[in-house]
Amino acid sequence: MTKRRRPVWDAEQIRSLRGHLKMTQDGLAAELNVRQQTVSEWETGQYQPRGASEKVLTIIAERAEFPYGDRDE
Its pTM stands at 0.82
For domain 11-63, give the CATH superfamily: lambda repressor-like DNA-binding domains (1.10.260.40)
Average pLDDT over residues 37-64: 95
| Helix, strand, coil % in the chain, rounded to nearest 5 | 55, 0, 45
| pLDDT at res. 19 | 97
Average pLDDT over residues 39-53: 96
| pLDDT at res. 57 | 95
Average pLDDT over residues 13-34: 96
Sign of the CA dihedral running 9, 13, 18, 22: negative
Cβ atoms of residues 66 and 28 within 8 Å = no
C-alpha 26/C-alpha 21 separation (Å) is: 13
Domain ranges of the chain: 11-63
> Average model confidence (pLDDT) for the chain?
89
**Angle, CA of 70, 64 and 58, to the nearest 5°:** 40
